[in-house]
């Protein structure tokens, strides 16, 4: 089975890649863009029957840094 982990920057922390890309999109005429947030996606192939709680633990211990990042886990 396969899980997708999505990691995003915590609200309130600066995201220079996001703000720069947002400016570029508005320069291209996409005036509806209010903000752009960058993140990271990690796809994990794990043994069938793996509890999503195990993936949560992987995120807490290694894949995400709780000081600066939030994460979510979804089964694919």
Q: Which residues bind another protein (CB under 8 A)?
A: 13-14, 16-17, 20, 62-63, 65, 67-68
Nearer to another protein, 48 or 61 (CB): 61
The residue among 48 and 54 lying less far from another protein, judged by its C-beta, is: 54
**In degrees, to the nearest 5, what angle opens at C-alpha 19 toward C-alphas 18 and 21?**
65
What are the tokens at 64?
A: 């995400």
Closest CB to another protein among residues 20, 72: 20
Closest approach of Cβ 29 to another protein, in Å? Answer: 24
Q: 44: closest CA among 73, 22, 21, 65?
A: 73
Count of C-beta atoms within a 10 Å radius of residue 5: 19
């Amino acid at each position: 089975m396969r899980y997708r982990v999505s990691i995003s920057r915590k609200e309130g922390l600066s995201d220079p890649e996001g703000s720069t890309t947002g400016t570029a999109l508005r320069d291209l005429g996409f005036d509806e863009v209010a903000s752009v947030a960058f993140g990271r996606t990690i796809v994990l192939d794990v043994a069938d029957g793996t509890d999503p709680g195990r993936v949560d633990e992987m995120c807490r211990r290694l894949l995400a840094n709780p000081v600066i990042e939030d994460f979510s886990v979804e089964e694919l």
